[in-house]
Amino acid sequence: MNRRATLLILTLIATVQFFDRAMMVVVMEPIKQEFGLSDAQLGMVAGLSYAAAFALAGIPLGWLADRVNRRNLLAAVLALWTAAVACAGLAQSFVALLLARIGVGAADAGGQPCSVSMIADLYGRDKRSGAVAVFFAGVPLGMLLGFLGGGLIAAHHGWRTGFWVAAIPGAVLVVALLWWVREPQRGASEDTALAAPVPAVPPSLGQTLTFMGQQPSLLAIMLASILVTATSSAMMSWVGSLLIRTHQLSLAQVGVMTALCMGGFGALGTVLAGRLADRLGAQDMRWQPRLMAVAALLIAVFGTAVCLLPAVPAVAVALALFAACVAGLNGPTYALSQSLVGVRMRGTSMSTLIVLLNLVGVGVGPTLAGVLSDHLAASQGADSVRWAMVCVLALNLPAVLLFARAARSIRADLDRAQSA
């Protein structure tokens, strides 16, 4: 099977998995009503159970992806994911649903390390950002389908049906993966004149983490990405409240606006930025982190505009541009997480980055915005959330400097990774 078809199947897997994540946000209220849950219990089901399982399973599965057949490992975790999602639809109690979401989070943790590591072996460094961007376009597309389609399905057929609708394509994709996709040869896309032979025995987890710590550009990109993730996660979590409190939009209006802006324009920004990163990188790889620095600055600008603009149409335009820039970072960020380490370190590198982004970025950003909003409520009233978001968006400014710092050492670090 050619690499484009493989990339398509991997992208569809990402789309289905993020459909489930987005749909979970939509069906929280029906679940709360059916089981009589408190907000704390609902938070455990929707967030903590998934995030904790994802974090615990992430690095071990990434480590395993560097040692076994990644196609088969991906098929196994996707099958477990499908079963867990279906069990969520069958759950008859809070405990059963909680266990199902733990299973979903643990299985989901293996998807991106396997997929991106395979893509890195299918596409050379000159096309890697664009290919990884196509894969990550599945994230906003899944969000778009989850917010719109998941809501419609839950409204007309109940929240359980939404999980079964997600599980069915998951099962189909397991078959497609095993039938059509072949495990890529590790290191097949590297420049054989420059690259060292692929090690027969992969390095230990400690050796891989040590090597990552010795790559200044990789560390700068990872830290900058955590800061950007904190701000974008805060925006995703609080933009609905902002639109309702500040602009008096209905829930339906908020759902359509966020789905189209975050989903549709997010997918477009992912693909376009990935292609641009490849073109700039072909001239000089220093341009990729420089492009990321520009994107981080624009995220702060457009995000602030979302918070402060008075007219709803202008807010929608700013939100679309914000989403395009946030999603546009996916291609070069994750491609460089593969290019800046050795061939047998890629699964671990990817999983480490994802775990940090979820634990620190996703965990801190929305919480910090909420704390700041509470602190500002006495003086700002209903506008407290918009000023809290402006404060959180300022975290993008050190991210700009970190991306720029990565450009200074990236060429030497890429050469070191090729010889690892």
pTM above 0.85, yes or no: no
Q: Could you give phi then psi for residue 137, rounded to 5 degrees? A: -65, -20
pLDDT tens readout for residues 282-292: 899 999 999 99
Angle (CA) 126-326-55 rounded to 5° is 90
Terminal-to-terminal C-alpha distance of the chain: 29
pLDDT at position 198, please?
Answer: 63
Q: How many angstroms separate the CA atoms of 239 and 263, rounded?
A: 14
CA distances from 300 to 120, 150, 259 (A): 30, 30, 21
Q: How many angstroms separate the CA atoms of 229 and 406, rounded?
A: 18
Residue 335 makes CB contacts below 8 A (sequence gap 6+) with 120, 128, 129, 131, 132, 133, 274, 277
Unique residue bearing structure tokens 């929240």: 159
pLDDT at position 224, please?
Answer: 96
- In 10 A of CB 48, how many CB atoms? 16
pLDDT at position 411, please?
Answer: 93
pLDDT at position 47, please?
Answer: 65
pLDDT tens readout for residues 148-181: 777 677 778 888 888 888 899 999 999 999 999 9
Three-state SS at 103: helix
CB 133 within 8 A of CB 275: yes
Residue 236 makes CB contacts below 8 A (sequence gap 6+) with 258, 262, 366
**CA quadruple 51, 259, 254, 292: dihedral sign:** positive
Domains and CATH numbers, the chain: 1-183 (1.20.1250.20), 204-420 (1.20.1250.20)
Q: How many angstroms separate the CA atoms of 202 and 195, rounded?
A: 16
pLDDT at position 262, please?
Answer: 81
Q: Which long-range contacts (CB under 8 A, 24 or more apart) does 302-308 make?
A: 303/231, 303/235, 303/389, 303/393, 303/396, 304/390, 304/393, 306/235, 306/239, 306/242, 306/389, 307/242, 307/386, 307/387, 307/389, 307/390, 307/393, 308/386, 308/390
Q: How many angstroms separate the CA atoms of 375 and 385, rounded?
A: 10
- What is the chain's pLDDT, residue by residue, as a tens digit (420 residues)? 688 899 999 999 999 988 888 777 677 768 877 888 776 676 677 666 777 888 888 889 988 888 889 999 999 999 999 999 999 889 898 899 889 989 998 998 888 889 988 998 898 877 888 888 899 888 888 888 887 777 677 778 888 888 888 899 999 999 999 999 999 888 777 765 455 566 667 788 899 999 999 999 999 999 999 999 989 888 877 777 778 778 888 767 777 888 888 888 888 988 898 899 889 988 999 999 999 999 999 999 999 999 999 999 999 999 999 999 999 998 899 889 888 998 888 888 888 998 888 878 777 777 788 788 888 888 887 778 888 889 989 999 999 999 999 999 999 999 898 876
pLDDT at position 272, please?
Answer: 92
pLDDT at position 99, please?
Answer: 92
